[in-house]
Amino acid sequence: MPIVLEGVAKKVTDQNGMVDQTMFSLSVLSLPDSIPNELTADVSELEINDAIRVSDVVLPREFEQK
């Protein structure tokens, strides 16, 4: 399932930094009719050297991370 970044990391861009997305998809187990088109990760509160990890992503109850 694709991972899409949402928002603008203002505290990063204000310091001339950039958000580097290193993971673009996540494998999950779910019933076929429950799978959304994408997962979103909000980056708007990120600061320099912050990271969003897979363990930070909240999956719907019916999902299981593979």
CA dihedral sign, ordered 5, 37, 64, 28: negative
pLDDT of residue 51: 94
Global pTM value: 0.76
pLDDT of residue 66: 67
Nearest residue to 43 via CA among 8, 14, 2, 1: 8
Domain ranges of the chain: 1-66
pLDDT of residue 25: 93
For the chain, 66 residues long, give each residue's pLDDT as a single digit of tens: 899 999 999 999 999 999 999 999 988 888 888 888 888 899 999 999 999 998 888 777 777 766
CATH code that applies to domain 1-66: 2.170.120.20
